[in-house]
Chain A
């Protein structure tokens, strides 16, 4: 079966750094995505990793270790607007790219 685990909730303060971890066990692997979803809104794309290592994009970075089945999303200089759910998703097919999602991590940023 497919399994993607991430913490349910995290809290942090403005200006801080937070790391959201994701571990996966899937029948295939064709890349790992992170999406952000504000309450009542559609998920929006943050990052994509298919090779091991760190991808940096502004305040957000994402890391992947395929051998460990592990990824993390790093958010720097947290802002109140970063309060949202962060969804880890794995693309498991070489052809046909349905995503398998974790349940999401709800991040609350306080002042």
Chain B
């Protein structure tokens, strides 16, 4: 079946512009996660959605970052007034459910964001 998909695959934007990154999780997966991976750094957790519960936003680095998940499926990560330090690969992952730690997360191919 289809895996996690993300769009766009690459995004180049000017400093100060807003960007929207999209994630389509695996059908039937109730948990959805956003991470970012900067050069030479590990994956950094950003935000987590589980079903209709309020999202866990504890990893968002600033109030310029926000995310929503519509209809329990597609998610959009929005970065407002982008800065050069926002340049990274943004990875989305989904899992069957998120209330148990044992379910593996399936990752999408990522969106490479470059802020010039």
Do most interface residues of chain A lie in helix, strand or loop, or is the interface mixed? loop
The answer to whether A97 and B91 touch across the interface, beta carbons within 8 angstroms, is no
Q: How far is the CB of B33 from chain A (nearest CB, A)?
A: 6
Known contacts A91-B101, A104-B42; is-contact A42 B56 (Cβ 8 Å): no
Instruction: Indicate whether B40 reaches chain A with its CB closer than 8 angstroms.
Output: yes
The answer to whether A42 and B107 touch across the interface, beta carbons within 8 angstroms, is yes
Q: Which residue from chain B places its CB closest to the CB of A33 in the assembled complex? A: B104
Per-position 1/0 for B30-74, Cβ under 8 A of A:
010101000011111100101000001011000000000000000
Instruction: Indicate whether B108 reaches chain A with its CB closer than 8 angstroms.
Output: yes
Known contacts A42-B91, A50-B102, A104-B42; is-contact A97 B48 (Cβ 8 Å): yes
Q: Count residues on chain B whose CB falls below 8 Å from chain A CBs.
A: 30
Known contacts A4-B42, A101-B42, A102-B42; is-contact A41 B109 (Cβ 8 Å): yes
The answer to whether B42 and A96 touch across the interface, beta carbons within 8 angstroms, is no
The answer to whether B42 and A87 touch across the interface, beta carbons within 8 angstroms, is yes
Choose one: B40, B91, B99, B102; the contact of A96 (CB below 8 Å): B99
- Chain B positions 1-39 with a Cβ under 8 Å from a chain A Cβ: 4, 31, 33, 35
Choose one: B50, B101, B105, B109; the contact of A94 (CB below 8 Å): B101
The answer to whether A42 and B42 touch across the interface, beta carbons within 8 angstroms, is no
A45-B56 Cα distance, complex, nearest whole Å: 23
Q: How far is the CB of B17 from chain A (nearest CB, A)?
A: 25
Q: Which chain B residues border A35 with CB–CB below 8 Å?
A: 107
The answer to whether B107 and A98 touch across the interface, beta carbons within 8 angstroms, is no
New contact pairs (16) apart from A31-B102, A45-B105, CB-CB < 8 Å? A30-B101, A31-B101, A33-B104, A33-B105, A41-B109, A43-B91, A43-B107, A44-B107, A48-B102, A48-B104, A87-B42, A96-B98, A97-B98, A98-B45, A98-B59, A103-B40
Nearest first, the 3 closest Cβ-Cβ pairs linking A and B are A30-B101, A91-B101, A42-B107
